[in-house]
A and B are shown apart, each in its own frame.
Chain A
Amino acid sequence: MAGIWVYAEVKDGKVKKVTYEMLGAAKKMSEKKGEPVCALLIGKDVSPLASELGAYGADKVFVVEGDAFAKYTTGAYTKAICDLVKQYEPSILLFGATINGKDLSARIAGRLGVGLATDCTEVWLDEGGNLVVKRPMFAGKVYAEVIFSDRKPQMASIRPNALGIPEADPSRKAEVLKVDISVNDEEFGYKVVGFEPVGTGKIDLTEAEIIVSGGRGMKAAENFKLLEELAELLGGAVGASRAAVDAGWRPQSDQVGQSGKVVSPNLYIACGISGAIQHLAGMGTSKVIVAINKDPEAPIFKKADYGIVDDLFKVVPALIEEVKKLKAQG
């Protein structure tokens, strides 16, 4: 059997949105290739999520459940997926390029000895039905088109928000296959003994649809409250430039740019960010960019769809009021 496989990452009882994006792309490829789309659902009590995977394009859902998979560990999850791959021999295997998706896909590629492309923004098939991907390098300063050796599965991790979510068809049902996989202690590699929450962290930056980001122009840590308020109203997340992180105003996990996170939200609002090349590389694929800066010469304006040359401490509060008005109108 062959197949185009999509790893359905689950976080807090929900399937990550990038999974739907991948299912959409997999479905297109499956129409060309004539192979089924299969989703992999791993965790504890995750089987109720299988039906929505069908609605987004999965023909079949493999469900691996149990206490061993209650928390993500590289070892247990690698074992589960490699066992399935060896049994069913898919031709393509896709992951979301999230923290755990990148960790897991790299380990699996190493174990199977197959090619993997990280953080892809486009995927398609060549004439021979082989996977081709486009991916940014140097944090987006250039892009590369990547092809794979004949070893299967050909693997890629997909950047969230890059492919777009297809329309769901609730009448579409996937066949659900529960698979028993046991993991012994050595195969875990490590044990997760606890968790410490950090930062504002409601939505991960790489997956946020709207990001309100602040730079040196924010002047102090407490001023980020303004950006948090705006982000909250818009249902987005707060990011920061390297200058703001190095100044200790924001945690490192908030940093956007070449030595931080590469993001591509629908809307990126840069407040008091001049636009160093390494920052621009990290957010240049955002669909709409807004820059608010006092300095009309700031390089960020060259990348921005909309710019406001003014004091952000006056503009952002005004924006907050406008968005509130908008929300009040419904």
Chain B
Amino acid sequence: MEILVCLKQVPDTEADIRPTPDMGSIDYSGVKFIMNVYDEYAVEEALRLKEKVGGKVTVISLGPDRVVEAIRTALAMGADEAIHLNDPALFDGDAYTTAKALAAAIKMIPYDVIFCGKQAIDDDLAQVPSILGEMLGIPTVTNIQRFEVLDGKKVRVHRQVEGGLDVIELQLPAIFTATKGLNEPRYPSLPGIMKAKKKPLKTMGLSELGLNENEVGSKGALTKILRYSLPPMRQAGKIIEGETPEEKAAKLVKLLREEAKVI
């Protein structure tokens, strides 16, 4: 089976994110980058599928040179090949232009299944896999918790919905977005890390993708960030004093009732 994974490199969850002084962009200096948390589940599910039915796992990522690190991590986990969309004309776009670049690359190669993370933990958009599905003309099932191949190209997945899981069946090709709980991602092994360095990594730019600079990146974007701001500062509030836990609890309930008026 031809299995693809779309992955994104993002700032570490522990990173303190601040806008630049002019509030026009994000200050990434000193920020550590990692593979998007949800993409780890996508890579893992791709590898498990390959281990079960055979085939090849190809990862695709869009971004500047640093993104190679996240790609190498996926290759070290066991992915076979990688495509890196690296061209300044492709950057600073939105979900629509990112999906467009990915779709252009994906249309050039065979695929049966595409796994993505449910959302990138930097822009928190949760849009690219659905838009990509439209551009490729295939279904996207978001937020999956379980993935099984029934026979040939028919699969059954469990999709997270409120209060439970929808059991869904469909024919491949299709896109699936992974959530936490789908699997437990493996760590790259030392031999895996050594092998990753020799695995094929193809870099593509605007011309290889057959795209026009006006339809991708910041020029093609349908949304634009005007400015950034910091969340409203929370003042540290009152520490409730008291002789006993019971006294503190009674004071708290009174405050929540009479001062905060939330219960």
Contact = CB atoms under 8 A, between A and B. Distances in A.
Nearest to A309: B239
Contact of B167 (A102, A113, A193): A193
B229 A138 contact: no
Contacts of A1: none
Contacts of B230: 142-143
A314 B229 CA distance: 40
B122 A107 contact: no
Contacts of B229: 134, 142-145
* B: contact size bracket: 35 or more
Contacts of B231: 136, 140-143, 284-285
B204 interface: no
B249 A315 contact: yes
Given A116-B127, A258-B13, A98 B162 contact: yes
A71 B162 CA distance: 13
B110 interface: no
A189 B248 CA distance: 55
Given A115-B96, A234-B263, A138 B11 contact: yes
B161 interface: yes
Contact of A307 (B168, B170, B239): B239
Nearest to B248: A308
A110 interface: yes
B123 A303 contact: no
B237 A109 contact: no
Given A191-B170, A195-B165, A307 B237 contact: yes
Contacts of A204: 162-163
Nearest to A252: B181
Contacts of A195: 164-167
B221 interface: yes
B126 interface: yes
B222 A115 contact: yes
B249 A318 contact: yes
B147 to A, nearest CB: 13
Interface in A280-301: 284-285, 287-290, 296, 301
Contacts of A266: 262
- Which applies to chain A's interface (DSSP): helix, strand, loop or mixed? mixed
Contact of A267 (B134, B140, B262): B262
B248 A310 contact: yes
B16 to A, nearest CB: 7
Nearest to A200: B163
B236 A303 contact: yes
A192 B167 contact: yes
B135 A288 contact: no
Nearest to A144: B225
Interface string A119-141: 10000000000001011111111
Given A306-B255, A308-B252, A318-B250, A116 B123 contact: no
B245 A147 contact: no
B195 interface: no
A274 interface: no
B124 A193 contact: no
A69 interface: no
Interface stretch (A38-46, A176-184, A219-227, A319-327): A319-327
Contact of A290 (B143, B226, B252): B252
Contacts of A284: 231, 234
A290 B236 CA distance: 11
Among B164, B168, B239, B249, find the residue whose CB has the most chain A CB atoms closer than 10 A: B249
B70 to A, nearest CB: 16
Contacts of A287: 262
Contacts of A247: none
Given A107-B140, A115-B94, A326 B257 contact: yes
A217 interface: no
Nearest to B155: A190
B253 A326 contact: yes
Contacts of B94: 115
Contacts of A201: 162-164
A189 B263 contact: no
B247 to A, nearest CB: 8
Contacts of B179: 252
Contact of B126 (A102, A138, A190): A102
A114 B127 CA distance: 12
B19 interface: yes
Contact of A115 (B140, B163, B223, B227): B223
A210 B240 contact: no
A183 to B, nearest CB: 14
A61 interface: no
Contacts of A328: none
Nearest to A259: B37
Contacts of B19: 142
Interface of A: 11, 71-72, 74-75, 98-100, 102-103, 106-107, 109-111, 113-119, 132, 134-149, 151, 189-199, 201-202, 204, 210, 234, 245, 251-253, 255, 258-260, 262, 266-267, 276-278, 284-285, 287-290, 296, 301-311, 314-315, 318-319, 321-323, 326
11 contacts: A106-B95, A107-B131, A118-B124, A137-B17, A142-B17, A190-B169, A193-B167, A196-B158, A306-B237, A318-B249, A318-B250
Given A102-B126, A318-B246, 5 more contacts: A106-B129, A116-B223, A137-B122, A259-B121, A308-B245
Top 9 A-B pairs ranked by shortest CB distance? A115-B222, A110-B134, A110-B131, A189-B139, A318-B249, A106-B130, A194-B167, A201-B163, A314-B245
